[in-house]
Each structure stands twice: as structure tokens, then as C-alpha cells.
Amino acid sequence: MPELSSASPPARPEFRNLSLFSDIPGYRMPVAGYVSILHRISGVLLFLALPFLVWLFSLSVSSEISYARFTALFSAGWWILPGWLLKLVALVLLWCYLHHICAGLRYLYMDATHVTTKEFGKASALAVLAVSLLLTVVCGAKLFGAW
């Protein structure tokens, strides 16, 4: 009968939870991770702003008088909010929409073609950021009256 040794088994690695204050700030996330988080944030903001967007759309298409009220919101403001602040809110919602569409098309393409390399992930994430920010700048220039 074999004799049992009294030696202890090798030490197993100790796993612990990440500390929010010491571990997370030093973690370097890839660009694709930032695009994924921004895609979720933009989706949540669009969902929460949906009643406001439906109201704005209804205000803009109901009649000529309601369209005049709609345009006055962005020039004269509403209640205590100045017009430039409402334009800024509209610009954030425009960015949310544009980023969500661009990132969604990226995810649809990746799902359809099964392209999952690191290089493609980084390149497509940078493209999503560049295209969505460029379109936001163009829409913002139009919104704030550059032409």
C-alpha cells in the first residue's frame, strides 16, 4: 500500500476582486472597448430622450405655428434655459444617434462576416469614432449657424 506523503499541495494562485480605486485607473482598455461602452451609453441616452424627441418631432410637423414655436426654442430658449443650451442638448443627442448607428453597423458587419481579429477591431473602432465625430461636427456647424 502506497504511503501518503505529508507534503502540502502546491500553492494555488489567489484571485481577488478588482479594486475600483487602485486597479481600474491603471487598466488600459483597447479602443474597441471604448467604442463598445460609448455604444451602450448612446443607446441608453437615446432611450431616455425618446419622449423628448417625439415631442420635438410632433412640435415640428403639427402646423406652421407649432413649427415656429419649435424654431423659437433654439433661438430664444424655453423657460429658464437659453437657446444655446438646447442646441447643445440637441447636439449631444445627434452624437448619440450618429455614434449608435455607426457602431451598430460595425457590429452588424462583424457578425455577418465573422471578422474578429485585433487589427480589424482596432481599425474599425477608430473608423467609428472618426466618422461619428466628423458627422457630429458637421451637424453641429449647421445647428449653430455656420451656414
pLDDT digits (tens, 9 = 90+) for 3-38: 666 677 778 777 677 676 776 677 788 899 899 999
SS3 82: coil
Q: Are 123 and 101 in contact (CB under 8 A)?
A: no
pTM above 0.85, yes or no: no
Cα separations (Å) of 40 from 47, 104, 135?
Answer: 11, 10, 19
User: What class has domain 29-143?
Assistant: mainly alpha
| Domains of the chain, residue spans | 29-143
Q: Which three cell numbers stand for residue 106?
A: 460595425
Q: What is the pLDDT of residues 129-146, one digit of tens each?
A: 999 999 999 999 988 887
Quickly state the pLDDT bin for 84 (edges 50, 70, 90): confident
Residue 116 has pLDDT above 80, yes or no: yes
Residue 104 has pLDDT above 90, yes or no: yes
Q: Which residue has the higher pLDDT, 87 or 105?
A: 105
Question: φ and ψ at 79, to 5 degrees?
Answer: 55, -115
Q: What burial class does residue 124 get, using C-beta atoms within 10 Å of its C-beta: 0-12 exposed, 13-18 middle, 19+ buried?
A: buried
